[in-house]
Amino acid sequence: MPSASPQYHLTQLEELEAEAIFVLGEVVAECERPVLLFSGGKDSAVLLHLAAKAFRPAGLPFPILHVDTGRNFAEVLEFRDRTAARVGGRLLVASVQEALDAGRLVERAGGDRNRLQIPVLLEAIASHGFDAAIGGARRDEEKARAKERFFSFRDEFGQWDPKAQRPEVWSLYNARVHPGEHLRAFPLSNWTELDVWRYVATEGIELPSLYFAHRRAVVERDGWLFAVGPHLAPRPGETVVERRVRYRTVGDATGTAAVISSATTPEAIVEELLASDVSERGATRADDRVGETSMEDRKREGYF
């Protein structure tokens, strides 16, 4: 008898990649005007890489949208522009600062600009008529993330109700929305931070230099290290020191802390994460310290 053909089994990363590409395909098939949310961070860089893979050799079938707080790291903005140009994507920028300058938003002293991204994002979605926004959220980021599914429905006010989740049986997704409504799609829902870094290493995905160990002037504030720069100055009594650090997430420069690290490659970061028992948001995002339900509250209002 002829020998049976060898069986090929996908690795864990290959399974995650295939699942994410399938979800991206479903969004494009089911929705008329999707958009991919791109912050320049590692998760959105992986998401953009997957999208380019999914629709190759054609170009991206949707534009790329960045909601800029006005306080982003310069390295991230440079990477955003260069990466969008490299993949041939149409980059749209919705600016929190422009909304503030125009009087559409009011910023309270010491306020959280990450939260101000909510109305700016919803305004951009409404003005462009997007019916789906594809994001790079992962379920291991924060407790509220784990409540969402691949397709997350948003009502006409851009709000999310975790008790009104639509069933996703046998990978069947309900993408029906009424005028003014939209959905969020999260192809990386089953990925972890470790999976992302392993995939970055395997695929050779370029990321902003902030993610890798470098020397930077910082101040210690509430036990965290914040970079001194155009958006953050030392307070009276604070001492500026130089440390070898990296960033695990690259949000607003005034609310994102650095961590001490010597990891200069994705492989070294994987080893570092294997020894860590603190999530990236718990370790570096000051805006998540507001309360136990801070992320869920923001998501109910329309946050990413």
Please enumerate in sequence order all residues whose Cβ is within 8 A of that of 145, keeping only pairs 6 or more positions apart, or say none: 137, 138, 139, 295
Q: Which of 191, 168, 249 is nearest to 50 (CA)?
A: 191
Judge if 54 and 127 occupy the same domain.
Answer: yes
The domain containing residue 153 runs over which residues? 12-195+294-301
Residue 200 lies in a domain: no
Residue 3, domain member (yes or no): no
φ, ψ for residue 265, nearest 5 deg? -135, 160
Residue 207 DSSP label: -
Q: Tell me: pLDDT of 289 over 70.
A: no
Pairing of strands 64-68, 91-95: parallel
pLDDT band at 272 (very low <50, low <70, confident <90, very high): very high
Is 4 domain-assigned?
no
Question: What pLDDT score does 218 carry?
Answer: 94
Q: Tell me the whole-structure pTM to 2 decimals.
A: 0.89
Structural domain contains residue 36: yes
Q: How far is CA 33 from the centre of its chain?
A: 20
User: Could you tell me if residue 2 is inside a domain?
Assistant: no
Q: What are phi and psi for residue 183, nearest 5 degrees?
A: -125, 160
pLDDT score of 293 more than 90: no
Domain contains 6? no
Please tell me the predicted confidence (pLDDT) of residue 301.
Answer: 61
Report if residue 275 sits inside a domain: yes
Q: Distance (Å, rounded) from C-alpha 119 to C-alpha 107?
A: 12
> Same structural domain for residues 49 and 166?
yes
214 and 121 in a common domain: no
Q: What is the pLDDT of residues 23-60, one digit of tens each?
A: 999 999 999 999 999 999 999 999 999 999 999 888 89
Could you tell me if 76 and 179 lie in one domain? yes
The domain spanning residue 88 has which CATH number? 3.40.50.620
> Is there a single domain that holds both residue 232 and residue 190?
no
Strands 34-37 and 214-221: unpaired
Q: Looking at this protein, which amino acid is placed at residue 41?
A: G
Number of domains in the chain: 2
Is residue 269 in some structural domain? Answer: yes
Residues 41 and 155 in one domain: yes
Give the CA angle between residues 246, 295, 251 to the nearest 5°: 30
DSSP bridge partners of 214: 245
- Which amino acid is present at 251? G
| The pLDDT of residue 167 | 81
The verdict on 187 and 211 lying in the same domain is no
Q: What is the pLDDT of residue 296?
A: 64
Strands of 211-279, DSSP E: 214-221, 224-227, 241-246, 259-260
Question: Do 121 and 43 reside in the same domain of the chain?
Answer: yes
Dihedral Cα 299, 143, 195, 282, nearest 10 deg: 100
Shared domain check, 271 and 150 = no
Q: Let me know whether 167 and 211 are in one domain.
A: no
Looking at the structure, tell me whether residues 227 and 112 fall in a common domain: no
102 and 144 housed in the same domain:
yes
- Other C-beta atoms lying within 10 Å of the C-beta of residue 100: 16
Out of 31-40, 178-187, 264-273, 284-293, least confident range? 284-293
Which residue in the block uniquely carries the two structure tokens 């860590």?
A: 276
- Mean pLDDT estimate for the chain: 87
